[in-house]
Amino acid sequence: MRHEHGGNIYKRKCSYDFSANINPLGMSEDIKKAYMNAFSMCENYPDPECTELRKLLSKKENIDFDRIICSNGAAELIFAICFYLKPKKALLPAPCFAEYEQALLSSGCEVEKYVLKEEKEFIFDECFIESITDDTDIVFFTNPNNPTGIAMGKSYVKKIIDRCVKTNTYLVLDECFVDFIRNGSEFSAKEYINEGNIVILKAFTKFYSMPGLRLGYGLFSSKEFAENVRGFLQTWNVSTPAQEAGKAALKEDIEEETLNYIEKEKNYLIESMTSLCKKIYGKSANFIFFKESKNFGEEMFKRGIMVRSCKNYYSLDESFYRIAVRTHEENEKLIETWKDIKRSL
């Protein structure tokens, strides 16, 4: 069964989309130009190795070229990893990104879930680490978590890595949102990548506002691991326009502007939301996870605004929501509409 994600403006048409966690500054003009110019190259096949793009990623991430795989979004890599490893038993936190479970079930794996507790504000504890046993073949861990927005420091992630080494368990670390955290290096486990059987997932989707182009990549703990997973990807899986857009994105210098903008707008939203919603939980990245009345999402949609209901995440119900940090104009519209809903009740 397909899992419904945020950003489906084709099925649920709206004027304002807060359901997809994309950089509110949008795609840069240089990226758009690179994408458009790439059409003149489309009479030839794309580079199946993504050679130039991987060279730039190697420099950016300070990791060997041969240990990087580019993919049609990070989700493609998730499936390829599972199809290669064919794990028998996996551990997932709940809630988490649905594609992990879909990929695992597709490869015939039994999935064990560690439920994050609302009374502990969905924060990870030592019990999650202790749940990794000798029978656990693979663990998926997102930092910051999606949808809760909770980020754990790299000292905690190091404990997960140490446990996985002890139990001979593969570890997939999804860091697709870590770039939205100021001092993100304090949360990234990249410096520990050589210490186990590890993959770190990254994507261009969120930070560079490129969800429609589908471009992600993985950093692998060894060349052999990367080569084996690559064998489960389609040839020419990354289009020429996507590769050219990715190369242009890596030459951009938007980190400080993005972080400053999101920090300012997130503070505005949180300050405004405090008196409107029941409770705010995670807010480490470019989205906010909160609790509100069960009809909140539909009331917003009636007024042209789509927020992300989290009811289809395991262990969550209709009272949990996630909103992206958008432009100030959009954020003001969200808060004004929210107040109107409260007044109408």
Same domain? For 178 and 277 the reply is no
Overall domain count for the chain: 2
Structural domain contains residue 261: yes
Same domain? For 108 and 188 the reply is yes
Q: Which domain holds residue 36?
A: 29-249
Domain boundary among 249, 276, 299: 249
| 3-class SS string, the chain | CCCCCCCCCCCCCCCEECCCCCCCCCCCHHHHHHHHHHHHHCCCCCCCCCHHHHHHHHHHHCCCHHHEEEECCHHHHHHHHHHHHCCCEEEEEECCCHHHHHHHHHCCCEEEEEECCHHHCCCCCHHHHHCCCCCCCEEEEECCCCCCCCCCCHHHHHHHHHHHHHHCCEEEEECCCHHHCCCHHHCCCHHHHHHCCEEEEEECCCCCCCCCCCCEEEEECCHHHHHHHHCCCCCCCCCHHHHHHHHHHCCCCCHHHHHHHHHHHHHHHHHHHCCCCCEECCCCCCEEEEECCCCHHHHHHHCCEECEECCCCCCCCCCEEEEECCCHHHHHHHHHHHHHHHHHC
Domain boundary among 205, 229, 249: 249
Same domain? For 194 and 311 the reply is no
Q: Identify which of 3, 4, 9, 5 has the alpha carbon closest to the alpha carbon of residue 301.
A: 9
Same domain? For 201 and 306 the reply is no
Same domain? For 329 and 286 the reply is yes
Same domain? For 103 and 165 the reply is yes
Q: What is the residue-level pLDDT of the chain in tens, covering all 345 positions? A: 556 787 777 888 899 999 999 999 999 999 999 999 999 999 999 999 999 999 999 999 999 999 999 999 999 999 999 999 999 999 999 999 999 999 999 999 999 999 999 999 999 999 999 999 999 999 999 999 999 999 999 999 999 999 999 999 999 999 999 999 999 999 999 999 999 999 999 999 999 999 999 999 999 999 999 999 999 999 999 999 999 999 999 999 999 999 999 999 999 999 999 999 999 999 999 999 999 999 999 999 999 999 999 999 999 999 999 999 999 999 999 999 999 999 987
Q: Please report, for the domain that includes residue 271, its CATH number.
A: 3.90.1150.10
pTM of the model: 0.96
